[in-house]
Amino acid sequence: RKEVEQDPGPFNVPEGATVAFNCTYSNSASQSFFWYRQDCRKEPKLLMSVYSSGNEDGRFTAQLNRASQYISLLIRDSKLSDSATYLCVVRQFSGGYNKLIFGAGTRLAVHP
Amino acid sequence: GAGVSQSPSNKVTEKGKDVELRCDPISGHTALYWYRQSLGQGLEFLIYFQGNSAPDKSGLPSDRFSAERTGGSVSTLTIQRTQQEDSAVYLCASSLGGGGAFFGQGTRLTVV
């Protein structure tokens, strides 16, 4: 079983739609959580951290459920520029190392 | 600059040659990561440095791969006797403490 699992998609949505991505992680000792976006042939870029209380940044809302080991990202009012791959990332402290574990990503395509 | 800097941005090498890839992390960041990404694939963890501790080398695919981080700053990833399957984008990231990591633009390595 992968340490961080995501639905690969693609999610094809029209402009203005609301879309949600989910992610599950296997290690209950995971400490912190992030969403990244990666555009085609570009490096991943940090989108937002994820907190247990939930957090919002403009059209983006992230949620963490530690009991279920589940992370979500909600995008409201989708724009064409939101088209990208969204990576779920978990930080784990194990064996003296503080590792960042990346999911394989969920691809989003927003169309006119 | 303020971000993570990698060089070269592109490298074409002949099979069997050695290559060195360089990463300049964000000043003051104690953690440095190397990942690689093949076309259309997710990020593959290679190695992680944290301060002056011994690095986590668990992701290095073979003994042809090695990395150093001098003075807690600049890192060099060396691939000896390159093979065609080493062709990928090599990404470096740095972080401070438990926060998210910031990536450089990567080195695109092509082994011919």
**pLDDT tens digit string along B65-108?**
999 998 879 999 999 999 999 999 999 999 987 789 999 999 99
β pairing state of A84-94 and A106-111: antiparallel
CA B5 – CA B19 distance, rounded (Å): 17
**Minimum-distance CB partner of A100 among B33, B42, B104:** B33
User: C-alpha A78: how far from its chain's center?
Assistant: 16
- List all residues of chain B from 48 to 107 with a beta carbon under 8 Å from chain A: 48, 50, 53, 56, 91, 93, 95, 98-106
Q: In angstroms, what separates the C-alpha of A44 from chain B's closest C-alpha?
A: 7
Please give the sequence-ordered ranges of beta strands (E in DSSP) within B38-105, or none if there are none.
44-50, 65-69, 75-79, 88-95, 102-103
Predicted confidence (pLDDT) at residue B1 exceeds the cutoff of 60: no
Chain A residues whose C-beta is within 8 A of a chain B C-beta are 31-32, 34, 36, 42-46, 49, 87, 89, 91, 95-105
* Pick from B56, B99, B103: CB nearest A43: B103
Q: Which region among A14-18, A77-81, B16-20, B56-60 has the lowest average model confidence (pLDDT)? A: B56-60
* Cα distance between residue B13 and residue A61, in whole Å: 44
Helix, coil or strand: residue A25:
strand
Closest Cβ–Cβ partner in B53, B103, B105 for A96: B53
Instruction: Return d(Cα A50, Cα A90) in angstroms, integer.
Output: 10
Q: Are B18 and B81 in contact (CB under 8 A)?
A: yes
Supply B106's token pair: 């990567």
Nearest residue of chain B to residue A97 (CA atoms): B56
- Do the chains contact at A43 and B45, CB–CB below 8 Å? no
How far, in Å, CA of B21 to CA of B90, rounded?
A: 8
> pLDDT-based confidence at A43, cuts 50/70/90?
very high
Name the band, by pLDDT with cuts 50, 70 and 90, for residue A88. Answer: very high
Are B100 and A89 inside 8 Å of each other by CB? Answer: yes
pLDDT tens figures, B7-28: 999 999 999 999 999 999 999 9
Q: Does B30 touch chain A (CB under 8 A)?
A: no
Q: At a CB cut-off of 8 Å and minimum separation 6, what does B110 contact?
A: B10, B11, B12, B13, B87
Burial (Cβ within 10 Å: 0-12, 13-18, ≥19) of residue A1? exposed
Q: Answer whether B54's CB lies under 8 Å from B62's CB.
A: no
CA atoms of B104 and A47, how far apart (whole Å): 15
CA distance B105 to chain A (A): 5
Rounded Cα distance between B49 and B88, Å, is 21
Coil/strand/helix, residue B17? coil
pLDDT tens digits for range B23-49:
999 999 999 999 999 988 899 999 999
Q: Is the pLDDT of residue A74 over 70?
A: yes
Pick the residue from chain B with its C-alpha nearest to A101. B45
CB contact under 8 A, B91 and A46: no
Spatial separation of the C-alpha atoms in residues A47 and A38, rounded to whole Å: 10
